[in-house]
Amino acid sequence: MYSYILRRLAFGAITIVGVSILVFVVLRILPGDPLVAIFGADGFTKLSEAERAGYMKALGLSDPLWLQYFNWVKDIARGDMGRSFFRSESVAEMIMRRGPLTAEIALISVVLSWVVGIPVAIISALRPNSIGDNLSRFISILFLAIPGFWLGMLIMLGLLFWFGYRAPLAGVSFFVDPWSNLQIVLGPGIVLGLGQAAYIARMARSSLLEVIREDYVRTARAKGLSGRLVIIFHALPNALLPVITLSGILLGFVLAGSIPVERAFGTPGLGFAMFTAVNERDVFVMQNLVFLYACVFVVLNIMVDVIIAWLDPRIRYQ
């Protein structure tokens, strides 16, 4: 088990180095001139030659590329991740302030996806092809097609229209004011959670139907246990393994999905910061946030792999 974790961590470290290089290539090398990216094509033409050189030097952009990359890694290692071009706050401070909201949203959505998805899957698998099964399958296919940010906008409009309610705009920590904090994160959490629940229900249903055909389940049934008990206590635990893996992959979907959803709700989280950074063409903030999201995604997937290996010895000894 320990050797498995170590191996997984080593691969994860390589991946993170690779990811950082990829981010650097995409955001710092591809755009051609970073000043055009920052000021826009119009603003760039208005700058004098000396101003351009000055900005390039101030931003550390006249250094050779390998040195720029090295400086960025140093910024990350120091923990402040450099500064936004437009704000006084360092990127690290922004992450500390806004990150918790997005993390809460992710947590709520994952919990909700299991709470909704698994029971739906059990109901489907108990009587495959019944009305209930077909209905739940149709609803999950429908939710795969609904863009989360649109659902978010509809919910927000509906609340405003019928109840005259609007979530508070300023971000508050859960520990300071739990109620207004929850009002901010519940909406995005629910929207993203329902989106994931559709995937979870689909996967859990097909995996349950597969496990039900195995010999040990037939044995349990032959002993005289009722169908419901067999599914919940014998089939479900084994059927959940692929669902856990999927849930890890879906976390990436939540991280990415939270960007448009936070914009739809106006949630002051990290996703909204990403939206702002993209629209202000703030390459430095974007670079750090993209790297952060990718790292979180990699680490979460390592955790999922370790959990799976812990639950299923066959994987550990491969």
Partner 1 sequence: MSVTSPTVAPVRFVRPSLLRRIGKGTVRFVRSSPLSAFWGVIATSILLMALLAPEIAPYEPLQANFRRMSRPPDGTNWFGTDQIGRDTLSRVIHGSRASLTVAAAAVLLGTTFGALWGLASGYFGGRFDIISQRIIEFLQSFPDLILAMAIAMALGAGTGTVIIAIAVTRIPFGGRIIRSVVLSLKEMSYVEAARSLGASHMRMMVRHILPQCIAPYLILATTHLGVAIIIEAALGFLGVGIPPPTPTWGNMLSDSLNAGLVPPWWLVLFPGLAITITVLAFNLLGDGIRDMLDPRLRGAV
Cβ-based nearer residue to partner 1, 76 or 220: 76
Binning the chain into helix, strand and coil, the percentages to the nearest 5 are 80, 0, 20
Closest CA to 249 of 290, 190, 308: 308
Dist CA 136 CA 118 (whole Å): 12
Q: Which of 60, 99, 119, 147 binds partner 1 (CB under 8 A)?
A: 147
- The reply on whether position 263 binds partner 1 by CB under 8 A is yes
Dist CA 173 CA 184 (whole Å): 10
- The reply on whether position 149 binds partner 1 by CB under 8 A is yes
Cβ-based nearer residue to partner 1, 116 or 246: 246
- Please report, as residue ranges, which positions from 202 to 241 form the binding site for partner 1 (by CB under 8 A): 203, 206
Q: Which of 247, 281, 284, 285 binds partner 1 (CB under 8 A)?
A: 281
Dist CA 149 CA 171 (whole Å): 19
Dist CA 258 CA 239 (whole Å): 28
Binding mask 35-74 for partner 1 (x = CB under 8 A): --x-------------------------------------
> What's the closest the beta carbon of residue 78 comes to partner 1, in angstroms?
23
- The reply on whether position 294 binds partner 1 by CB under 8 A is yes
H, E, C per residue of 232-300: HHHHHHHHHHHHHHHHHHHHHHHHHHHHHHHHHHCCCCHHHHHHHHHHCCCHHHHHHHHHHHHHHHHHH
Cβ-based nearer residue to partner 1, 220 or 250: 250
For 90, phi and psi rounded to 5 degrees? -80, 160
Dist CA 171 CA 214 (whole Å): 50
- The reply on whether position 5 binds partner 1 by CB under 8 A is no
For 83, phi and psi rounded to 5 degrees? -120, 155
**Integer-rounded Cα radius of gyration of the chain:** 24
Cβ-based nearer residue to partner 1, 40 or 227: 40
Tell me 318's DSSP state.
Answer: -
Cβ-based nearer residue to partner 1, 1 or 22: 22
> What's the closest the beta carbon of residue 157 comes to partner 1, in angstroms?
6
Closest CA to 142 of 193, 98, 198: 198
Q: Which of 4, 5, 31, 308 binds partner 1 (CB under 8 A)?
A: 31
Cβ-based nearer residue to partner 1, 16 or 308: 16
- The reply on whether position 252 binds partner 1 by CB under 8 A is yes
- The reply on whether position 139 binds partner 1 by CB under 8 A is no
- The reply on whether position 176 binds partner 1 by CB under 8 A is no
Under the rule (CB under 8 A), what is the footprint of partner 1? Answer: 14-16, 18-19, 22-23, 26-27, 30-31, 37, 141-142, 144-147, 149-151, 153-154, 157, 160-161, 203, 206, 252-253, 255-257, 259-260, 263-264, 274-275, 278-279, 281, 283, 286, 290, 293-294, 297-298
